[in-house]
Amino acid sequence: MTPAERISELRMELDRHNRLYYVENTPEIDDRQYDMLMKELEKLEHEHPELDDPLSPSHRVGSDLSKGFVQVTHARPMLSLGNTYSLEEVNEWVDRCNDSLGNQGGMLSVPIVGEMKFDGTSISLTYENGRLVRAVTRGDGVKGDDVTENVKTIRSIPLVLPAGDWPESFEIRGEIVLPWKAFDRLNEERAFNEEPLFANPRNAAAGTLKMLNSAEVARRGLDAYFYYLLSDELPADNHYENMLKAREWGFKVSDVMTLLHSADEVDDFIKRWDVERRNLPVATDGLVFKVNNLRQQLNLGYTAKSPRWAIAYKFAAERALTRLIRVSFEVGRMGVVTPVANLEPVLLSGTIVKRASLHNADIVKSLDIHEHDMLYVEKGGEIIPKITGVELSEREEGSEPVKFVDECPSCGKPLVREPGEAAWMCPNKYGCRPQIIGRLEHYVGRHMMDIDGVGEENCSLLYDAGLVSDISDFYTLTTPPLENLERIGPRTAQRIVEGVEASKNVPFDRVLYALSIPFVGETVSRKIARAVRSMDTLMAMTREELVAIDDVGPRIADSIIEYLSYQPNVELIERLRSHGVQMSLPEEDLSDHTDLLKGKSIVISGVFSRHSREEYKAMIEKNGGKNSGSISKKTDFVLAGENMGPAKLEKAQKLGVAIINEDEFLKMIEAE
Ligand code: IVH
């Protein structure tokens, strides 16, 4: 291959990985592999300047710009950091800084600050007169997306600073992260709903920050750490003290930040945190070293892409090599077929790994896995082990590439793939065992019908015994045949029968969720149930009417229509209804509902005396209005109590949004 060919191949490959990483949030390779490709490209371009192209991926810092947000130009560009995976290169960087600033010897005349490199998504916050005015993503480094509304939902970010010596105007940069706990919870939920999982907290944080629904953002539990203060009037002449000030003003600045005075201290810092980072509540992918003194920073200056006064040391992902026993194909409740690598057990970051998801056919193909290959398994902080490559030198002669099945491994039906989707699906929704059992398990689950006594295992038992073949059969169960089943004694049988009976009181919104209609999750079910009130209304609705419901998009609407136009589903619903399952929300709930606030977006602020905040929220919803968390041009009015937040007051006044008190509000919803 000529250098020109390789350069063009690398550019295309890097462009593709940029898109997967920044736009689709589904990277196929890790940072290290990406960096290797980039370094190879940079080297070739350096050797062949005649082949340069201003649009080469080496000329940009990457972009997370996305549609739907207003773009803002950064007052000062957001650069990236030069990085290395080796301790030696960190030492060389320290020496270089010392040399160019005219110092020599073992002691660092150039004090360095060591910090954690948080693995999230970078953010720039601007404060004026102690108030947060704007939060912008890095974007392409020059322009970013204005995500202020979403950032405001992050509890650890101060919106208004308490009195202090902060400059009138400053910018603070940091990293938005999704802590491990919140990440695990989110992925558990997604696994349950058969939605694609986030590969790591970084993608989850970036994806969440770009959501258009800030209520959902608030629910996910983002957090933020800050590491860079910029202003014309900084409090100190060095980075460390500036960050201590920021901490004083209420920003989360990590305790890991340490002032280092010698090359040995730098080494010790690396050795210590390479291990101890595992105990931190958030994901980290390395350490950052910065020259502390701002004058020295200025002297060292910048390259086109990054400051010379800082360097990132990246941790190597923990990796193991093990043999592939076989790839199995598993069918989920919605029919998605997932390839799973079954591995010879191997120890990785303290746990034994035997299985790793290969996600979908495209990933199996791009890794080019052959039968019995030796595979690299990584756990780069992520909880779910990942196959990152094949050790070709260990490949058995004549071994065949792993073939993705074209028939359902369970029922044998030919698989189908929707255009533009990565997943192959078994179309045999109503005749394929794992799909049927998956729906039974879903139906009895805690968030759905919560049927006591029937766990996951019992569902397959009941199905195989011929007692339950669809969810309506639960209502025909009686103790005698049940208690004769292996593993189910008289007591469990009794519990099941009682649990099934109790499920007849489960409200309609959860029944709707329990039906396993694709894309109709817990929140959407609740929204739909409140909007339509009954199954009969839902069944009569058109696509347009469905899309008009809050949070229902075309994909969900189509899925509901498809589900309800299949006669066996309608019959199933009728059977459930005849057994006494709730197919509408109770009447009494309806009586105090009005349209008085229909289409109104209302913000609640302050402390109230006549009702609680929660009660006001319920009143808004019952009267057809929408309670929203922050004031915007779309806000119709603010329901204000005592001590309304000064930021909200100012914003409402600026946008000319009406402010009304409790009495006025109560009058408003008084029905004639
Ligand atoms: S300093 C001009 N410090 O890493 C230097 N960055 O690869 C500005 N990051 O875009 C960055 N932890 O998103 C800095 N302690 C830390 C960091 C950090 C994480 C991220 C940040 C930056 C990227 C550069």
Would you say the CB of residue 198 lies under 6 angstroms from ligand 1?
no
- Report how far residue 297's alpha carbon sits from residue 619's, in angstroms, rounded to the nearest whole number: 57
Ligand 1 centroid – CA 657 distance (Å): 38
Would you say the CB of residue 594 lies under 6 angstroms from ligand 1?
no
Which pLDDT band, with edges at 50, 70 and 90, does 262 fall under? confident
| CA 285 remoteness from chain centre | 17
Lowest mean pLDDT among 64-78, 263-277, 436-450: 64-78
pLDDT score of 108 = 62
pLDDT score of 360 = 86
| In the predicted structure, residue 55 carries a pLDDT above the cut 90 | no
Ligand 1 centroid – CA 256 distance (Å): 15
Ligand 1 centroid – CA 340 distance (Å): 35
Which pLDDT band, with edges at 50, 70 and 90, does 191 fall under? confident
pLDDT score of 350 = 67
| In the predicted structure, residue 409 carries a pLDDT above the cut 90 | yes
pLDDT score of 672 = 44
Would you say the CB of residue 310 lies under 6 angstroms from ligand 1?
yes
Lowest mean pLDDT among 53-57, 58-62, 231-235, 463-467: 58-62
Which pLDDT band, with edges at 50, 70 and 90, does 15 fall under? confident
Would you say the CB of residue 79 lies under 6 angstroms from ligand 1?
yes
Which pLDDT band, with edges at 50, 70 and 90, does 669 fall under? confident
Ligand 1 centroid – CA 119 distance (Å): 9
Residues 6+ apart with CB under 8 A from 567: none
- Using CA atoms, how far residue 577 sits from 297, 473, 505, 533, 620, in Å, is 72, 12, 12, 15, 31
Residues 6+ apart with CB under 8 A from 352: 345, 346
Atom of ligand 1 nearest to the CA of 285: 19
Atom of ligand 1 nearest to the CA of 119: 19
Would you say the CB of residue 175 lies under 6 angstroms from ligand 1?
yes
| In the predicted structure, residue 442 carries a pLDDT above the cut 50 | yes
3-state secondary structure 333-382: CCCEEEEEEEEEEEEECCEEEEEEECCCHHHHHHHCCECCCEEEEEECCC
- Using CA atoms, how far residue 669 sits from 409, 558, 657, 666, in Å, is 58, 35, 19, 5
Ligand 1 centroid – CA 629 distance (Å): 30
pLDDT score of 107 = 59
pLDDT score of 62 = 47
Q: Judge contact between 448 and 442, C-beta under 8 A.
A: yes
Question: Which whole number is the average pLDDT over 416-423?
Answer: 83
Would you say the CB of residue 361 lies under 6 angstroms from ligand 1?
no
Atom of ligand 1 nearest to the CA of 122: 13
Ligand 1 centroid – CA 131 distance (Å): 24
Atom of ligand 1 nearest to the CA of 228: 1
Residue type for 476, please? T
Would you say the CB of residue 122 lies under 6 angstroms from ligand 1?
yes
- Closest C-alpha residue for ligand 1 atom 13: 122
Would you say the CB of residue 202 lies under 6 angstroms from ligand 1?
no
117 is annotated as an active-site residue = yes
Would you say the CB of residue 81 lies under 6 angstroms from ligand 1?
yes
Ligand 1 centroid – CA 80 distance (Å): 7
- Report how far residue 550's alpha carbon sits from residue 523's, in angstroms, rounded to the nearest whole number: 11
Instruction: Name the residue of 81, 93, 119 to mutate for ligand 1: max ligand atoms within 8 A of Cβ.
Output: 81
Would you say the CB of residue 228 lies under 6 angstroms from ligand 1?
yes
Would you say the CB of residue 80 lies under 6 angstroms from ligand 1?
yes
Lowest mean pLDDT among 383-397, 502-516, 585-599: 585-599
Q: Which phi and psi (to 5°) does residue 605 adopt?
A: -150, 140
| In the predicted structure, residue 381 carries a pLDDT above the cut 70 | no
- Report how far residue 546's alpha carbon sits from residue 626's, in angstroms, rounded to the nearest whole number: 18
92-101, 227-236, 332-341 — most confident range: 227-236
Instruction: Name the residue of 288, 305, 306 to mutate for ligand 1: max ligand atoms within 8 A of Cβ.
Output: 288
pLDDT score of 104 = 57
Which pLDDT band, with edges at 50, 70 and 90, does 184 fall under? confident
DSSP result, 441-500: HHHHSTTTT--TT--HHHHHHHHHTTS-SSGGGGGG--HHHHHTSTT--HHHHHHHHHHH
Burial class, 228, CB count within 10 angstroms (exposed 0-12 / middle 13-18 / buried 19+)? buried
36-45, 66-75, 403-412 — most confident range: 403-412
Tokens of 446: 């805690």
Which pLDDT band, with edges at 50, 70 and 90, does 65 fall under? low
Q: Quick: pLDDT tens for 281-335.
A: 999 989 999 999 999 999 999 988 899 999 999 987 778 999 999 999 999 888 9
Lowest mean pLDDT among 32-36, 268-272, 311-315: 32-36
Q: Quick: pLDDT tens for 587-636.
A: 755 567 788 888 889 999 888 888 888 788 888 988 888 888 888 888 99
Instruction: Provide the strand spans (E) within 284-335.
Output: 284-291, 310-314, 318-331
pLDDT score of 575 = 97
Would you say the CB of residue 288 lies under 6 angstroms from ligand 1?
yes
Q: Is 134 helix (H, G, I), strand (E, B) or coil?
A: strand
Atom of ligand 1 nearest to the CA of 83: 7
Of 67, 117, 305, 403, which one is the catalytic site residue? 117
pLDDT score of 468 = 95
Instruction: Name the residue of 64, 117, 292 to mutate for ligand 1: max ligand atoms within 8 A of Cβ.
Output: 117
Would you say the CB of residue 227 lies under 6 angstroms from ligand 1?
yes
Tokens of 25: 């949030």
Question: Which whole number is the average pLDDT over 529-550?
Answer: 92
- Report how far residue 237's alpha carbon sits from residue 473's, in angstroms, rounded to the nearest whole number: 74
- Report how far residue 365's alpha carbon sits from residue 163's, in angstroms, rounded to the nearest whole number: 58
Which pLDDT band, with edges at 50, 70 and 90, does 511 fall under? very high
Average pLDDT, the chain: 88
Q: Write down the pTM of the prediction.
A: 0.59
- Report how far residue 619's alpha carbon sits from residue 610's, in angstroms, rounded to the nearest whole number: 13
Ligand 1 centroid – CA 215 distance (Å): 28
| In the predicted structure, residue 460 carries a pLDDT above the cut 50 | yes
Ligand 1 centroid – CA 234 distance (Å): 19
